[in-house]
Structure 1
Amino acid sequence: MNFSFDHLVWFHHNPEKAIQPLSEKGIYVAHGGRHDTWGTYNTLSYFDLSYIEFLGIEVLTIAEQHEENRLITQIVDQLAKENREGPAKIAIRTNQIHELAIKLKQDGHTVYGPLPGQRVTANGEVIQWTLLFIEDQPNELSLPFFIQWDNSDKERLSALKEQGLLGRHSDENSKLECVGFVVRDLEETIRTWGDLLNLTPSEEFWDEDLQARCQKLELPGTHLLFCTPDREGPAEKVLHERGETPFLVNISQANQNSFFELLNGYWRFQ
């Protein structure tokens, strides 16, 4: 069963307010559209098929009605109730979502889905997909959810190019190289995720910027970086304030070397 990174979901009260500060850093963010049946809306930043989704609540009364879409229950809990913005969850792409649901159940997981989803773009186009969520969570860090798009990767890439959503960063070759997660137990967490995605972890290494011990899972599209803080620094700060969570975006070929905090998350350009 093949998996690829699809996107990082970044909760924000006003997703459109991610556009200007990231533009000043050379990152292009476009208006996305509405999820009318979920009460949410988004803005999007694409790096080929990997992307960041800034997701906000548009109609809370609609969002509060959802139980099976665990992303919507999470954004209601985290954004509406706790007032906590920032990177929140990742989506993994597959083209065998129904088979995956069966396998996860056979492995002892409780799942929600597959569930249909759709977004209406600003020009009225309807984009559709299917979602699958794992309900049981072995660690504080929530496991990824899975997505299968109605269109093929080739069709989606072609559509993104036609819409002018690719190559718009200050360096058109910028790549979403990895997404970082801060966790309490590096070994246990990376073993859990590696088993789930059928990936072998890298050797452990020290990350000077984060002041943390780290390991990678080389997921096609965008790698996953897991870090446990070893002393005071950005990783320790996030773990203390927010618990286990995605917290870092690594952008490669960004025409600059910088590390900074923005929109309640960390960014590293290399």
Structure 2
Amino acid sequence: MSFSFDHLVIFLNKPEEALVPLYEKGIHAINGGHHQWWGTYNSLSYFGLSYIEFLGIEDLSIAEKQRNNGLITEIVEQLSKQGHEGPAKIAIRTREIQQLATKLKSEGYTVFGPFPGERVRVDGQIIKWSLLFIENDPNELTMPFFIEWEKSDEERFLDLKEQGLIGNHQIGNPALEKVGFVVHSLENTITKWGELLKLQPCEEFIDAAMNARCQKLDLSGTSLLFCTPLGEGPAKKVLEEKGETPFLINLEGTSQTDMFEMFGGVWRLQ
């Protein structure tokens, strides 16, 4: 069973307001569409098939009724109740979501789904997929969720290319090379996620800019970087303010070198 990185979800009160700051950094993004059955809507920025979703609540009364969709229950809790914007969760792509659900149950996980999802694009086209969620431990890093798109990777890539959503950034041809997570225990977290995704952790190293001990899982499409702070720095700041969470967006292949905070996360351009 193979996995690929699909997307990082960033919770924002108004996803449409992400477009101008991204444009000013040379990053292309668009208004995405509406999830009518979930009460949410989004804006999107693509780096090949790996992308960032800026997700907001459009109709709280609908969103609050969701029970099994872990993404919607989290956005209601974090955005509506706590007022916390920022990176929140990642999605991992598979072509065998039903078999994955059975396998995860046999391994002792509590799962929700698969169940269908869809989004009405601004041009009226309906995009469809299936989702699978794992029950989270509230004291640990939120687990990834899994997605299986109705269309194949090849079909989706061609469609996104035709829409001008791929290869249209002003800072070169950036790839979403890594998404970073700040955690209390590097060893425990990377072991748990490595076993879930059947990936062997890379060698530990020190990320000087984050002032953290880090290890990576080389997931197809975009690597997952797990960091435990060594002292003062961006990683410690996020861990103290937000707890264990995604926090780093690492773009590689840009025409500049820069690091800045935006939308509640740390962005690193290389």
TM class by shorter-chain length? over 0.9
* Amino acid of the structure 1 residue aligned with 2:177: E
CA distance in 2, matches of 1:138, 1:115: 23
Task: Read off the aligned partner of 1:196 and give its amino acid letter.
Answer: L
The Cα shift of 1:140 comes to 1.1
TM-score calculated relative to the size of structure 2? 0.99
Partner of 1:164: 164
Report SS of the residue matched to 2:105: helix
The answer for the alignment partner of 2:68 in structure 1 is 68
1:138 CA displacement = 8.3
Which position in structure 1 is the counterpart of 2:35? Answer: 35
Alignment coverage as a number of residue pairs: 270
Question: Which secondary structure state, in structure 2, belongs to the residue aligned with residue 216 of structure 1?
Answer: strand
Within-5 A mapping of 1:31-180:
31-137=31-137, 140-180=140-180
**C-alpha contact (below 8 Å) 1:120/1:126 kept by paired residues:** yes
User: What is the aligned partner in structure 2 of residue 190 from structure 1?
Assistant: 190
Structure 1 position 171, deviation (Å): 3.4
C-alpha distance in 2 between matches for 1:138 and 1:41? 25
- Residues 92 and 147, structure 2, Cα contact 8 Å, conserved in 1: yes
Q: Secondary structure at the match of 1:166?
A: coil
Match of residue 10 from structure 2: 10
Give the AA of the match of 1:247.
F
Question: Distance in 2 between the 1:259 and 1:191 partners?
Answer: 29
CA RMSD, 1 decimal = 0.9
8 Å CA contact 2:172, 2:255 repeated in 1: no
Q: In the alignment, what sits opposite 1:223?
A: 223
8 Å CA contact 1:139, 1:189 repeated in 2: no
Identity of aligned residues (%): 61
Quote how far apart the aligned CAs of 1:90 are: 0.1
Partners of 2:148 and 2:267 in 1: CA distance: 28
Once the two structures are superposed, residues 167-220 of structure 1 have per-residue CA deviations (whole angstroms, 9 ceiling, x without a partner) of 111134210000000000000000000000010101110011101000000000
Deviates more, 1:137-146 or 1:81-90: 137-146
- 1:120 aligned partner, one-letter code: V
Q: Residue 225 of structure 1: SS of its match in structure 2?
A: strand
- Structure 1 contact 4–93 (Cα < 8 Å) conserved: yes
- Given that 1:176 and 1:250 are in contact with CA atoms closer than 8 Å, whether structure 2 keeps it comes out as yes
Q: CA–CA distance in 2 between the matches of 1:3 and 1:36?
A: 28
SS at match of 1:173: strand
SS at 1:91 equivalent = strand
In structure 1, runs of 5+ residues without a counterpart are none
> Is contact 2:101–2:114 with CA below 8 Å preserved after alignment?
yes
Q: Post-superposition shift, 1:244? A: 0.1
8 A contact 2:207–2:214 mirrored in 1: yes
- Determine if contact 2:171/2:256 at 8 Å carries over to the other structure: no
Contact 1:28 1:168 in 2 (8 A): yes
Given that residues 216 and 223 in structure 1 are in contact (C-alpha distance below 8 angstroms), is that contact kept between their aligned partners in structure 2?
A: yes
Q: Work out the CA distance in 1 between the residues paired with 2:207 and 2:113.
A: 37
Q: Does the alignment pair 1:237 with 2:237?
A: yes
For structure 2, the 5+ residue unaligned runs are none
Q: Distance in 2 between matches of 1:233 and 1:2?
A: 35
Instruction: Find the residue that maps to 2:6 and give its secondary structure.
Output: strand
Q: Aligned partners of 1:211 and 1:170: how far apart in 2?
A: 30
- TM-score normalized by the length of structure 1: 0.99
Amino acid at match of 2:101: A
Q: What amino acid is the match of 2:213? A: R
Q: Distance in 1 between matches of 2:218 and 2:170?
A: 26
Cα deviation for residue 264 of structure 1 reads: 1.0
SS of 1:168's equivalent in the other structure is coil
How far apart are 1:136 and its partner, in Å? 4.2
Q: Secondary structure at the match of 2:254?
A: coil
Task: Report if aligned partners of 1:109, 1:136 keep a CA contact under 8 Å in 2.
Answer: no
